[in-house]
Amino acid sequence: MEDQRQTVFIAGAGLVGSLLSLFLAKRGFAVQVLEKREDPRQSLRSEGRSINLALSHRGLRALEAADASLRQHVLDEAIPMYGRQMHDEEGHLSFQPYSSNKECIYSVSRFSLNNSLIDAAEGQGVSFLFEHHLEEADFASKTIHLIHKDKTHTLSAPVLIAADGVFSKVRTSLEKQGLCHSTLEKIDHGYKELDISAEKGVLLEPQTALHIWPRGEYMMIALPNFDKSYTGTLFLPFNEQGLSFQELNDEASVTRFFDIHFPDASVLFPDLAKQYFSNPTSFLANVFTDRWAFGEWLLIGDAAHGIVPFYGQGMNAGFEDCRLLDELLTQHYDNFEVAFQTLNNTRKKDTDAIARLAMDNFIEMRDLVADERFLLQKKIESALSKALPDQWKTLYSEVTFSDTPYSDAFARGQKNQRLMNEIMNDKSLDLTRWEEKEVWEALLKKVSDQ
């Protein structure tokens, strides 16, 4: 018998498209996902994309809402990270916990997560068409043009969700038709991934931390993998006089750079120059799109709002989009047009806020985490959040360990920062003795009076 359910087309079987297809299949829709790459389960590993990612509360909550056993499966292969392990230029270490009550984020493999999502979605009847490259989407006729094995096909797609990433072809088609406008803001820094093998990874302790080598204008980070290896990422300006990807252009300059600036890390990369010159240097960007909903067509995830990775929230935000959309479909009896428009109206301020926070966090990670005054402020904030849990929540904690809309977290963060500035500049408070009763009580009073 012919399948009578309405077909929803999703462009892109990345993290967001695959999770969304699972949500929609569970609602009873027939779902077809069109993906330009070959089936990732048939290839050896992800090509040119970050190898691991930080998954946190928002992403986990969405996985739970889609399928509790899938969430557990993902966690079974994840490495918890309880804080930042800082490496200074002399190789000295210091640990900064993410939370005062042992909350953590998780390092997960992009490749395994994507495959698990596709498996789970297929298990619910989703059909994935791999090696189908969406070339163009025409809103007036509600058709999409695909290339498969050098042949062009046209499909009628009354309901279409574009999860085809930062360079979304659906978005650019809609822009050409005058239906929306987007801005792609590239930043001056690019990134390059460098693998630390499991054999060397055991030297990098603890495994349950996100390692950071902050150096002001640039930095390196490393996230642990399940097999004890790490994926390092070097963030560096593209074209600056001095230290930039452009300047590090031969084996000697690369080796010297690591020996001087990341001395404890250079021993972890015995094949540094080889990796440096064979791995791609990629750029980073924020994408802002003024409209995501077009009747029964929608942009979602990075296609609507790609962000730089410094808060570890791009995927988490995309997963949260999926959960919120699923809830809106329930509220609006599966009316796509209303649910899409409501998501558009209510969510954009939040993704704008996380984009801003991600840029701010870049400065914090590469620069401030090595600054004494900043570290003192963080210690005081952490103590305040313990002493006044209802009144003082750290920004990081609200973004990473809660569902508070990003825009509310942002606004509260601004307010708290103003108050912290006052505290840090208050000459009547001797902050060198902030843990002593008298100073601490004066501090608490200042915060409680707000």
Ligand X SMILES: Cc1cc2nc3c(=O)[nH]c(=O)nc-3n(C[C@H](O)[C@H](O)[C@H](O)COP(=O)(O)OP(=O)(O)OC[C@H]3O[C@@H](n4cnc5c(N)ncnc54)[C@H](O)[C@@H]3O)c2cc1C
The span of 32-40, 178-186, 372-380, 421-429 binding ligand X (CB under 6 A) equals 32-40
CA atoms within 13 A on the CB side of 322: 34
Q: How far is the CB of 443 from ligand X (least distance, A)?
A: 34
201, 214, 314, 405: residue in contact with ligand X (rule CB under 6 A): 314
Q: Determine if 9 is a binding residue for ligand X (CB under 6 A).
A: no
37 lies in the site for ligand X, by CB under 6 A: yes
Binding to ligand X by residue 316, rule CB under 6 A?
yes
Task: Give residues 292-311 in contact with ligand X (rule: CB under 6 A).
Answer: 301-303, 309
In the complex, what is the shortest distance from the CB of residue 385 to ligand X, in angstroms, rounded to a whole number?
23
- The residue (of 235 and 392) whose beta carbon lies closer to ligand X is 235
> Does the protein bind ligand X through residue 224 (CB under 6 A)?
no
Scanning 46-54, 254-262, 339-347, 376-384 for contacts with ligand X by CB under 6 A, the matching segment is 46-54
CB of 29 to ligand X, least distance (A): 19
Does 315 contact ligand X by CB under 6 A? yes
Residue 194 binds ligand X, judged by CB under 6 A? no
**In the set 120, 157, 163, 322, which binds ligand X (CB under 6 A)?**
163
Of 132 and 423, the one with the shorter C-beta distance to ligand X is 132
Binding of ligand X at residue 36 (CB under 6 A)? yes
Name which position in 23, 111, 128, 191 contacts ligand X (CB under 6 A): 191
Residue 134 in the binding site for ligand X (CB under 6 A):
yes
- Chain residues that interact with ligand X, rule: CB under 6 A: 11-17, 34-37, 50, 53-54, 133-134, 163-165, 169, 191, 233, 301-303, 309, 312-316, 318
